[in-house]
Amino acid sequence: MLEEDEIKQVDKSNMITYYSSWNKLFREALKIDITLPPLREYDNLIFGGMGGSIIAGELIADWIYPKAKIPSLIVKDYHLPFFADSNSLIIVASVSGETEESLSLLREAKERGCGCVALSSGGRMESYSKEQNLPHIKIERGLAPRAALPFLLVPEILLLKDLKILDKELIKEFFDSFIFLDDLSNSFKPSSPFEENLAKKVAFSYYNKRIVTYASSEIKGLAFRFKASVNENAKMSMQLELLPELCHNEIESWEGDKDRLALLIKREEEREEIRKRFHIIKEMLQAKGVEILEVNLKGKGFQAILYGLYLLDFSSLYAAILRGIDPLPTKNIDKFKELLATQR
């Protein structure tokens, strides 16, 4: 099951092969030239973007939250919050450089005098940055924005390091995590047999089911990334709920509804209050006869993020193969953009 020949027949764009090179791409991304905004004491940090381009910001915001010196905010829309001003650092990412919402955010950041940095592979975002003399970090486009994650995640972290926004322990944690990249790639690559490949096993558990995923709000960025990957790669719907909030509403939906797979994403470093809630949730779901799949992330801090990215992203690609779907094309997204362009 999920042998290399079978995968190649369905994955016509070699998406999985590209993901298998992430260990190399993460290291290549360390060589990207980082252009800094004005050096000053920023009061807040805003990550802006859409789809696969904003995921890096979401992951970073969650990762630095326990030790953050300044508050961070994610904006997936056209407009910045009212408080954004010259004391705000705005990082706007658009892999294509053509995303309408991201371009709007960059223009607003410029108009308000914010410290801002743009990341793109080119497009109007690069052109605007040059015209306005704004810092621009040029990245590789990759096969798709979601596949280009290393080229977004690494330079954004290096940018924050150079601006001295990151805690020293976080910087060490980031660089130390690179030693695990090769092991992760080998663990989940297509040539790894089903019996030894956890990503393939996880995919087989959910590829033909209705999924609801439960995760701690402390890793909401990783959980949203998983949802987006399942949506875009496997062309499947997924419901996502976060702890502890779901204990105040979502659990009432269990009444009379067993037709679902509850996928629980758990960490080694889970806080005791979250650990207790996961335990109770599992007991209650089992009592109601709901199927459960537990995904336990290995490592701590940034290492756990990398492990989760590899395991869950690869599982979404293997789920696509099991469904007989080429994971790369996003026909509905492309159609939507086409229709939107006609209304400008």
CATH numbers and ranges of domains, the chain? 4-179 (3.40.50.10490), 190-322 (3.40.50.10490)
Which 8-state DSSP code applies to residue 317? Answer: H
- Is 257's pLDDT higher than 80? no
Q: Which H/E stretch holds residue 160?
A: helix 149-162
Instruction: Give the pair of three-digit tokens for residue 277.
Output: 């809630």
**Predicted confidence band of residue 259 (pLDDT cuts 50, 70, 90):** confident
- Is 307's pLDDT higher than 80? yes
- Which is more confident, 242 or 181? 242
Order of strands, sheet of 291-297, starting from the edge strand that comes earlier in the sequence: 238-243, 211-216, 261-267, 291-297
Structure pTM?
0.95
Task: Specify the residue for token string 């960490």.
Answer: 267
The pair phi, psi for residue 247, each rounded to 5°, is -70, -10
- Is 340's pLDDT higher than 90? no
What is the rounded average pLDDT of the residues 240-254?
96
One-letter amino acid for residue 27 of the chain:
R
Task: Specify the residue for token string 């087989």.
Answer: 204
Question: Helices 168-176 and 149-162, interaxial angle, to 10°?
Answer: 150
What is the rounded average pLDDT of the residues 50-74?
95
**Predicted confidence band of residue 166 (pLDDT cuts 50, 70, 90):** very high
Which 8-state DSSP code applies to residue 316? Answer: H
Contacts of 328 (CB under 8 A, 6+ apart): 11, 12, 13, 15, 143, 144
Q: What is the mean pLDDT of the chain?
A: 95
- Is 256's pLDDT higher than 80? no
Cα-based distances in Å from 77 to 74, 90, 108: 9, 14, 12
At 341 the pLDDT is 85
Tell me the β-bridge partners of 294: 264
Contact between residue 95 and residue 121 where contact means Cβ atoms under 8 Å apart: yes
